[in-house]
Amino acid sequence: MKKKLRNNILAGLVIFLMLFSILSTILISYQADKEIITGQLIDQGTVSLTVPGTSSPVTPSPAGPGGGGGGGGPSEEGVPEEFYLDFKIKDTYTIGPVTGDIVYVIFSDSVQYRFDVFSTMPNWIVFEIVGFKYTVKTSEVGYFDLDSDGIDDLKIVYDGVSTTFVSLYVPEEEVLEAPKMTTRKVAQEQILLSPIWTRTGYIILLVVAVIILVILVYQHTKLSGLEKGQKKKLRKMYKSYKEQKETSSRKEGMIDKLNKQKKLLDEAYSGKHISKKAYNAGKDRINVILKRVRKK
């Protein structure tokens, strides 16, 4: 009964792992579709840094006639629109700036940066920051180290229409120098779940794995010592059987118990939990008792 319960628990845990994997895949696919539509692509940190034609970080172009990224100056259609992205409220903003617009990135009361939209095209957007131009392409994700401390503070994704700004780290101070920019290729198949779901999923998988491991170790330990434990159990079973009045039902019950012990022994040997010597000794012991019970 206990063995059957353990096997049922193992089967249930395996089914749970399968369902959990399927559910995780569905959630990943759902979030991928959602983020592709909104332009909120999330790239995996192991993707190598790449820039067309070079493998080094992007070098900013000084502002001025003919400088960086292509496209004309501010739009002549009207007054530029201003966007205020307050990262004290939330970490992600998706907006639709066009040429001539201004984006204010607010990390704290004392740390704020101004991004002037120098030009927008279907395949890229060019920002001017503290007098330097930076191009973010639709095929890449731009990472900005605004205070040049070696830590990326901002991530920008452009999908040809919308631009997504993601706060990664709050700079300690505002530095009016050319920010350092690196890019990573957008890989849609490597879109990740949110950190909260990822951590929760890892914890659940770890707990289930530990439970399965404990059950397997317990079964292995029990089966490894089966031959010695069975020797005592058989002696006790036969002694109890002899002390009571013999009936056909008790005889059949005893034979059934002995056959179950033999089956358990076969299972331990086939699983390589006991040696052949221990297996033969245990089997001979059961057969001797079976012969005595059947003679009566």
Tens of pLDDT, residue by residue over 160-191, are 999 999 999 999 888 888 999 999 987 643 44
**The 3-state secondary structure of 173-197, one letter per residue:** CCCCCCCEEEEEECCHHHCCCCHHH
| Tens digit of each residue's pLDDT (9 = 90 or more) over 19-45 | 766 766 666 555 544 444 333 333 333
Q: What is the pLDDT of residue 270?
A: 82
CA distances, 203 to each of 23, 156, 206, 268 (Å): 16, 31, 5, 33
**Which helix (H) or strand (E) segment is 265 a member of?**
helix 248-270
What percent of the chain clears pLDDT 90, i.e. is strictly above it? 32
Going by pLDDT thresholds of 50, 70 and 90, the confidence category of residue 211 is confident
Please say if the pLDDT value at position 196 is more than 60.
Answer: no
Going by pLDDT thresholds of 50, 70 and 90, the confidence category of residue 288 is confident
Q: What is the pLDDT of residue 187?
A: 62
Going by pLDDT thresholds of 50, 70 and 90, the confidence category of residue 226 is low
Q: Which residue has the tokens 């089956």?
A: 263
User: CA-CA distance, 152 to 246, in Å (whole number)?
Assistant: 84
Taking CA 52 as the corner, what is the angle to CA 49 and CA 58, rounded to the nearest 5 degrees?
60
Return the higher-pLDDT residue of 146 and 196. 146
Q: What is the pLDDT of residue 36?
A: 41
Taking the whole predicted model, whether its pTM rises above 0.75 is answered as no
Q: Domain map of the chain by residue range?
A: 43-190, 225-295
Please say if the pLDDT value at position 57 is more than 80.
Answer: no
Q: What is the pLDDT of residue 38?
A: 39
For residues 124-132, average pLDDT: 94
Judge contact between 84 and 104, C-beta under 8 A.
yes
Residues 6 or more apart from 108 whose CB is under 8 A from it? 88, 170
Q: What is the pLDDT of residue 65?
A: 35
For residues 227-246, average pLDDT: 77
Name the nearest CA neighbour of 225 among 285, 280, 265: 265
Judge contact between 105 and 154, C-beta under 8 A.
yes
AA letter at 185: K
Name the nearest CA neighbour of 31 among 164, 189, 193: 193
| Tens digit of each residue's pLDDT (9 = 90 or more) over 106-116 | 999 999 999 99
